Structure 1
Amino acid sequence: MAGTLYITGDKAADGLLNKDGTALLIGMLLDQQVPMEWAFSGPAKLKERLGHVDARKIAAMDEADFVAVCAEKPSIHRFPGSMGKRIHQLCTVLTDEYGGKASNIWKDLATGAELYRRLHALPGYGEEKSHIFVAILAKTQGVAPEGWREAAGKFGDDVPRSVADISDPESLAKVREWKKAQKAAKRNKQDQPI
């Protein structure tokens, strides 16, 4: 994997996201109730503290010990306790079902619908997060199974609406502008009234 996602403002942190599927999956998991940059910097913080973002090693840790790592200042999220537990759960599923590698989720897939189904079954991956991650894989990581646009929902279009549409400073600015306009119009990322 060697993608084009540009989000954290830190070359090493973005590089980790673009090379390591588990880091990318964890970054997307953290992308709620905090700025995108903070969420997607989380995997780099974990790697700095643990020396890795290996799902098998994280799953093997005592959950409370892992949560304590997540809560170290600066914490990986506004809610490091609940998000630390969720990461631990995610890594356990990756270990038990995907050989400890997130990239196995999208390996040898026939359709975008199957990719969406696999993502949606993961801890912390609801409908919208799963749609966005399908779009991230297709738009920035070169993983575009047949029907990915349909599986990504609104996030499969060419409107700069989410992290999936960010590959450089200019596209980051466009996504921010679009989100600001949506907020002013009282609409969400899927163009629905809020």
Structure 2
Amino acid sequence: MAATSPSARSTPELHLAQDPEADAVLSKDAFALIVGMLLDQQFPMERAFQGPAKILERFGTLDPGRIATADPGEFADLCATPPAIHRYGRSMAARVQALAAVVEGEYGGRAERIWTEATSGADLLERLVALPGFGDRKARIFASLLGKQLGVRPDGWREAIGPYAQEGTHMSIADVVDQESLDKVRSWKKQQKAAARQ
């Protein structure tokens, strides 16, 4: 059984960036959403998810084909221009282009096909882990985000994802729906880091 299409939930109203314009981009554009997840490392969560809107404003489009074939130096410049899309704007620009190339080449430029065509939770994770810049943990968090906020729940998705898919948690960006939940996720992460140091 294929994953439930995000369209079944109509247009989702995401609040990951804590910025109305940036969140509108994430809610309407599947590639923007996956780029936001790519940027979510070594950088504040909400600022990472503001990155796609910055790219759209500066580059003029989030079309994966156009991004993949853009001049790497020029694209890196626009990503690194303050306020940059990430603390490491230039290196992340290269990752965004690599991700765009895969989405264009393997999914016909339609990022949502990564999840709408997944046949199971395990298949979804496999597709996500195969993306540039996505490891196992990032793939599980993004799959959890898809399931919790977009209704993308292929067979066995909770079992495949693990703890991040549990309801009532505040462990990752998948659980962020407003400022309060963002604060709870940030608090949980601080607790985990403190426990790791003991």
Same fold (TM over 0.5): yes
Asked if 2 retains the 8 angstrom alpha-carbon contact of 1:4 and 1:167, the reply is no
> Hey, what does 2:177 align to over in structure 1?
167
Between 1:146-155 and 1:156-165, the stretch displaced more is 146-155
How big is the shift at 1:99?
A: 0.5
RMSD between aligned alpha carbons?
1.5
Q: Does 1:104 align with 2:113?
A: yes
**1:61-91 Cα distance to aligned partner (Å, 9 max, x none):** 1222211111112111111111110100000
Match of 1:143 in 2: 152
Q: Which residue of 2 aligns with 1:80?
A: 89
From 149, 170, 191, give the equivalent of 1:181.
191
Q: Indicate the residue corresponding to 1:130 in structure 2.
A: 139
Contact 2:43 2:86 in 1 (8 A): yes
Please report the TM-score for the alignment, with normalisation by the length of structure 1. Answer: 0.91
Unmatched tracts of structure 1, length 5 or more: 188-193
> Is the contact between residue 134 and residue 151 of structure 1 (CA under 8 Å) also seen in structure 2?
no
Residue aligning to 1:114? 123
**Maintained 8 Å contact 1:59/1:89:** yes
- Once the two structures are superposed, the pairs formed by residues 87-98 of structure 1 within 5 Å of their partners are 87-98=96-107
Structure 2 residue 43 is matched with structure 1 residue 31:
no
Cα deviation per residue 1:148-167 (whole Å; 9 max; x = unaligned)?
11222221113210000111
How many residues end up aligned between the 2 structures?
A: 188
Unaligned runs of 5+ in 2: 1-5
Moved over 3 A (4+): none
Equivalent residues of 2:121, 2:155 under 8 A apart: yes
Distance in structure 2 (CA, Å) of the matches to 1:24 and 1:131:
15
- Offset from partner CA, 1:128-185 (integer Å, 9 cap, x none): 1101010010011121111111222221113210000111222222212222222232
**TM-score for both structures, normalised by structure 2:** 0.89
The structure showing larger relative contact order (alpha-carbon pairs under 8 Å, at least 6 residues apart) is 2
Alpha-carbon separation, structure 2, partners of 1:46 and 1:130: 22
The answer to which of 171-180 and 15-24 deviates more is 171-180
